[in-house]
Every structure is written in structure tokens, then in C-alpha cells.
């Protein structure tokens, strides 16, 4: 049996994502929790779970931000699995007449958090078909071709965007717990077309990825 202190925490935004992950993992080795949509809910919910586990003397061995995501066209198609080398808060900064100024340039820390190298390596080995690259975190789902193009230009290594990774990563960093982000693509990033989101395909891919990584 897996000792309680070596369990992995997988954090999703919504219950449907948590159910898809749970369908693939060994519950003795992995705890799955849905903590809400967006970086603030993700950071608050993850920080609470990490602190409770630590206070009980059973810290998690790692935390993974998992769920569905938008894929940048030509980089991550619908149904693909993506793995973050870096998780980037793409809208953390300031607008100016000359364009977006990132938080690092403003002198207030960093918008870039790296995946833990060992956790990233283990997930990459378990998921050889996963597309590795940067995953952007945004509080607003991209819904125009203009915003998609601007994000791609600012983040040439980005493969996908979602809404929670940077929040989960921030909580993990504060607690000194290894972090990774794993997502499956439900929709292309670009002009909003909610009817075109392939939720079933993305959830099935999420279950398969969870099973391959932690089953
Ligand atoms: O229909 C909407 O516009 C909408 C707005 C907020 C959340 C949702 C969800 O379905 C929540 C699930 C989760 O999905 C991630 N996601 C999926 N595709 C994208 C995307 O293109 N851009 C950003 N995030 C995406 C996100 O992490 C949500 O929490 C639907």
C-alpha cells in the first residue's frame, strides 16, 4: 500500500475534470480535488489542501494542475495531451500604448514558473505522445484571433492555455512541493465558438493520461 505521505495531489477546476482524472488513477496513490475556475480559486484551494496535509504530517509528494485546455492551432490539436515545461501567467502585468508589460519587467517577481524537473521527467516518460511546451494561465478565455496571435507572438513556446496552472504552481512553490501541469485539449484557441468544444474527447483523453501516469 502507498504510504499516505507519498500521495500525489491532482487539482482540477471543475468536478467533471476531477471525475475524468479519478477514473484513471489509483486512489491509494493519488488524491483528486476540484477547487474552482481561475487562478485565484486554484491558488487558494491548493494552498489550503497543501497546508492541511502538511499540518497533519502527511505532506503531498507533488501537486499537478490537470484538466482541459485550449490548444494553439498548429501546436496542440483537439484531443492531444500537453505537458508544461513552464507555466506562465500570461495576463499578469500592465497594458501600455506600446503593448503588454510583464510583471517581471515591472519589477514585481515573475510570471514564469518551471515544472519540477523530476515530476516533469516522470510524466514525460509515462506519456511519450504528450506535447511539451509552455502552458499559459489566463483569467479570461481567449476569444478573438487578435488576442490569440498576440499571445503566440509573446510566447513562442506556448502550446496551450488554461485558467489555473499558475495559481496551483504559486501555492506549490510557497509550500515547497514539486509542481507540474498536465492538460488535454478541448478546443482550439481563437474566435469564440463554444459549440465546437469537444469536451467528451478531452475528458476521455484526460482519463487515459491519468491512467498512464498514475494508474
Ligand atoms: O464557456 C466558457 O467560456 C467557459 C469559461 C470558463 C470556464 C469554462 C470551463 O469549461 C471550465 C473548465 C476549464 O477549462 C479550461 N479551458 C478549456 N479551454 C480553455 C481555453 O480555450 N482557454 C482557457 N481555459 C480553457 C480552463 O482551465 C477552465 O477552468 C468555460
Which tens digits make up the pLDDT trace of 17-31? 999 999 999 999 999
pLDDT of residue 114: 98
State the closest ligand 1 atom to the C-alpha of 17, by its place in the atom list counted from 1.
12
The C-alpha atoms of residue 56 and residue 42 are separated, in whole angstroms, by 21
Residue 85 CB contacts under 8 Å (≥ 6 apart), including other chains? 114, 115, 120, 132, 133, 134, 157
Centre of ligand 1 to C-alpha 162, Å, is 6
Its domain, for residue 98, covers 4-214
> pLDDT tens digit string along 142-179?
999 999 999 999 999 999 999 999 999 999 999 999 99
Q: Which of 141, 148, 155 to mutate to test the pocket of ligand 1 (most atoms within 8 A of CB)?
A: 141
163 lines ligand 1 (CB under 6 A): yes
Query: Sorting pLDDT into bands at 50, 70 and 90, what band is 215?
Result: confident
Q: Domain of 29: which CATH number?
A: 3.40.50.1580
> pLDDT tens digit string along 113-125?
999 999 999 999 9
158 lines ligand 1 (CB under 6 A): no
Q: Is 74 left (phi over 0), alpha (psi -120 to 50) or beta?
A: left
How many domains, in total, are found in the chain? Answer: 1
Mean pLDDT of 29-45: 98
pLDDT of residue 6: 86
Amino acid at each position: 500500500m502507498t504510504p499516505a505521505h507519498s500521495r500525489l495531489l491532482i487539482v482540477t477546476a471543475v468536478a467533471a475534470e476531477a471525475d475524468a482524472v479519478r477514473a484513471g488513477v489509483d486512489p491509494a496513490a493519488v488524491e483528486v480535488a476540484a477547487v474552482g475556475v481561475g487562478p485565484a480559486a486554484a491558488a487558494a484551494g491548493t494552498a489550503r489542501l497543501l497546508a492541511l496535509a502538511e499540518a497533519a504530517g502527511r505532506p503531498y509528494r507533488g501537486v499537478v494542475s490537470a484538466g482541459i485546455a485550449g490548444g494553439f492551432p498548429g501546436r496542440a490539436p483537439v484531443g492531444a495531451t500537453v505537458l508544461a515545461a513552464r507555466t506562465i501567467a500570461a495576463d499578469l502585468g500592465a497594458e501600455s500604448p506600446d503593448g503588454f508589460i510583464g510583471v517581471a519587467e515591472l519589477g514585481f517577481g515573475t510570471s514564469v514558473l518551471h515544472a519540477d524537473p523530476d515530476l516533469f521527467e516522470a510524466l514525460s516518460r509515462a506519456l511519450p505522445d504528450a506535447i511539451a511546451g509552455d502552458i499559459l494561465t489566463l483569467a479570461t478565455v481567449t476569444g478573438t484571433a487578435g488576442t490569440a496571435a498576440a499571445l503566440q507572438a509573446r510566447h513562442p513556446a506556448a502550446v496551450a492555455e488554461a485558467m489555473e496552472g499558475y495559481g496551483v504552481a504559486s501555492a506549490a512553490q510557497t509550500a515547497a512541493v514539486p509542481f507540474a501541469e498536465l492538460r488535454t485539449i478541448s478546443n482550439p484557441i481563437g474566435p469564440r465558438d463554444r459549440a465546437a468544444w469537444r469536451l467528451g474527447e478531452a475528458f476521455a483523453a484526460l482519463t487515459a493520461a491519468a491512467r498512464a501516469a498514475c494508474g
